[in-house]
């Protein structure tokens, strides 16, 4: 695998952090939601953000 340069590494870290923030916010919104359909939609979004975060982390290995 090709090594990442410093700028690519910084961008990757930023994306990882952004996906974690997004997942946390969506999960918090879901916990406050009373509509089950919207709650499920928010939880799915949070899980997708976490999955993407894990994929991005795999590029660091």
- Domain positions in the chain: 6-58
What is the C-alpha separation between 56 and 12, in angstroms, rounded?
Answer: 7
Q: How many beta carbons lie within 10 A of that of residue 23, not counting itself?
A: 19
| Res 61: pLDDT | 81
What is the C-alpha separation between 54 and 28, in angstroms, rounded?
Answer: 20
Which residues, 6+ apart, have CB-to-CB distance to 56 below 8 Å?
12, 15, 16, 19
Query: How confident is the model over 8-49, as pLDDT tens digits?
Result: 999 999 999 999 999 999 999 999 999 999 999 999 999 999
């Amino acid at each position: 695998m090709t090594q990442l340069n410093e700028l690519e590494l910084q961008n990757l870290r930023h994306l990882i952090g952004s996906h974690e923030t997004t997942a946390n916010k969506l999960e918090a919104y879901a916990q406050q939601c009373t509509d089950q359909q919207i709650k499920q939609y928010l939880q799915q979004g949070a899980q997708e953000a976490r999955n993407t975060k894990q994929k991005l982390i795999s590029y660091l290995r």
